[in-house]
Amino acid sequence: MSIIETEATLHEAHRDNHTHRDVNGGWLRPAVFGAMDGLVSNLALMTGVAGGAVSQQTVVIAGLAGLAAGAFSMAAGEYTSVASQRELVQAELDVERRELRKHPVDEMEELAALYVARGVQPALAREVAMQLSKDPEQALEIHAREELGIDPDDLPSPLVAAVSSFGSFALGALLPVLPYLLGASTMWPAVMLALLGLFACGALVAKVTARSWWFSGVRQLALGGTAAALTYGLGTLIGTAV
């Protein structure tokens, strides 16, 4: 085999074996964890209420109230959190923008020093920094990434975060309530559907982790089931006491 053919084979093998998981989780991670949060919290709420030997209507009302309250709370919390983070980032970008306008040479030297600290030769680092600093917007983007670790063109949207959190939480919280809405008269169908949902959510989490789907599914099933059992026991104790 020739050297060229060998290099081509190595490059092909490198491409085949050099793919990485999405370590940020993309949209899947927040969606799955939002649904899981809604599922666990509402299942625990409903089992806790059911443990108090209340009527079926009370359990359903508690489930629907938990769904609405949790979803709106998640949406409001996510909106406030992401909006505050975005405002902080914008403020820092404004500071960097002013510095680039007032002290362009100092900012260029600062960028060159960052590259030198990463092992680039001083002369080459200064040349790269000089080239990148010619365009003010490009310079702002580079400084933001190097100094703040952010991408100015990829800031999170508070509205998108709020809507997605509301939807995913509500979807998860709906599962324990659904059997009642379809005519179930006992808690067991709701518990079984919720546990199945917990396993499915855990299996989906495996898409962004190194764990196997069955391990993640069983782990989440155990955690959610334990939370439901504990709140049921607590509800029983409180119901007996009052």
Share of the chain above pLDDT 70, in %: 85
Share of the chain above pLDDT 90, in %: 56
Looking at residue 15, its pLDDT comes to 53
Tell me whether residue 112 is in a domain: yes
Q: Does 60 have pLDDT greater than 80?
A: yes
How far is Cα 208 from Cα 31, in angstroms, rounded to an integer? Answer: 12
Residue 19 confidence class, pLDDT cut points 50, 70, 90: low
Tell me whether residue 100 is in a domain: yes
Are 170 and 182 in contact, with CB atoms under 8 Å apart?
Answer: no
Instruction: Characterise 197 by phi-psi region: left (phi > 0), alpha (psi -120 to 50), beta (else).
Output: alpha
Q: Does 99 have pLDDT greater than 50?
A: yes
Specify the pTM. Answer: 0.77
Tell me whether residue 172 is in a domain: yes
2-16, 41-55, 66-80, 92-106: least confident range: 2-16
How far is Cα 203 from Cα 193, in angstroms, rounded to an integer? Answer: 15
How far is Cα 76 from Cα 163, in angstroms, rounded to an integer? Answer: 9
Specify the 3-state DSSP secondary structure of 242: coil
Q: Does 9 have pLDDT greater than 90?
A: no
How far is Cα 230 from Cα 236, in angstroms, rounded to an integer? Answer: 10
Tell me whether residue 160 is in a domain: yes
Tell me whether residue 95 is in a domain: yes
Amino acid, single-letter form, for residue 115 = Y
Q: Does 18 have pLDDT greater than 80?
A: no
- Across 218-225, average pLDDT: 92
Query: In whole numbers, what is the pLDDT of the chain averaged over residues?
Result: 86
Tell me whether residue 7 is in a domain: no
Tell me whether residue 80 is in a domain: yes
Q: Does 30 have pLDDT greater than 90?
A: no
CA distances for 118 relative to 20, 127, 146, 181, angstroms? 24, 15, 11, 61
Q: Does 86 have pLDDT greater than 70?
A: yes
Number of structural domains the chain divides into: 1
Looking at residue 154, its pLDDT comes to 83
Residue 26 confidence class, pLDDT cut points 50, 70, 90: very low
Residue 143 confidence class, pLDDT cut points 50, 70, 90: confident
Rounded to 5, what percent of the chain is helix, strand, coil? 80, 0, 20
How far is Cα 213 from Cα 218, in angstroms, rounded to an integer? Answer: 9
Which residue range is the domain that position 216 belongs to? 27-241
Are 227 and 44 in contact, with CB atoms under 8 Å apart?
Answer: yes
Looking at residue 196, its pLDDT comes to 95
Looking at residue 227, its pLDDT comes to 92
Q: Does 178 have pLDDT greater than 80?
A: yes
- Scanning the structure block, which residue is given the tokens 């299996």? 203
Interval 183-192: pLDDT, tens: 998 899 999 9
Radius of gyration over every alpha carbon of the chain, rounded to an integer in angstroms: 26
